[in-house]
Amino acid sequence: MGSRRTALAWVVALGALATMSHGGLARSNLEAGVTAAQQGSASGAQSTTYTEAQATRGKPLYDDICQSCHLTQNLLTGETFALTWNGRTAYELYDLIANTMPQDDPGRLTTAENVSIVAYLMKLNGMPAGKDSLPSDKAGMQRVKFNIKPSAWSSP
Ligand code: HEC
């Protein structure tokens, strides 16, 4: 019977451990969320721009289709991109990509694909993801503006 009691003790101990780590996790997530919200409002930045899921869909498209030229022709990150696009709308970038890119076959991507690439470019340039999607209609995209912080300019 000794082994059963030991087993029971283990279960109780593990349960306590799991509860503790859950509590810790929930708290730190909450703190991170609050900090992000504070930073957003302090800078007057739009808190929602695109979702993480959209950027995740855009990444493989960007890697496969855009990087062949843009890895060397680095126009899509860094200070030059920030200075070119800050204050302009997501629609302007979407429109440029939809009509002129990929340069060797413009217009081959769908609206949804181009929107997810714009979302990925926002992520790549250090703009935070939010809980609302980047809209895929003109009026919606015109409400979202580029706001790339100087701290993100230096990243490649
Ligand atoms: C075949 C090569 C090639 C491919 C593929 C390509 N681009 Fe380009 N892209 C260029 C070149 C060259 C320029 C500069 C054009 C100019 O200045 O007139 C450019 C310019 C741009 C610009 C304008 C940058 C700015 O700030 O003015 C954007 C945005 C862009 N590309 C996005 C993309 C995206 C997104 C893709 C993938 C869907 C892509 N490109 C695929 C060659 C390419």
Separation of CA 18 and ligand 1 centre (Å): 49
The Cβ-side half-sphere exposure at 64, using a 13 Å CA radius, reads: 8
What whole-number distance in Å separates Cα of residue 153 and Cα of residue 88? Answer: 16
Q: How many domains does the chain have?
A: 2
Same-domain pairing of 27 and 56: no
Which residues have C-beta atoms less than 6 Å from ligand 1? 65-66, 68-70, 73, 75-76, 81, 84, 93, 96-97, 101-104, 109, 117
Same-domain pairing of 60 and 136: yes
Same-domain pairing of 66 and 139: yes
**Count of CB atoms within 10 A of residue 118's CB?**
28
Tens digits of residue pLDDT in 29-57: 333 433 333 343 444 445 568 999 999 99
Same-domain pairing of 33 and 95: no
- pTM for this prediction: 0.75
Tens digits of residue pLDDT in 58-112: 999 999 999 989 987 678 998 989 999 999 999 999 999 999 999 999 999 999 9
Q: Which domain holds residue 64?
A: 52-153
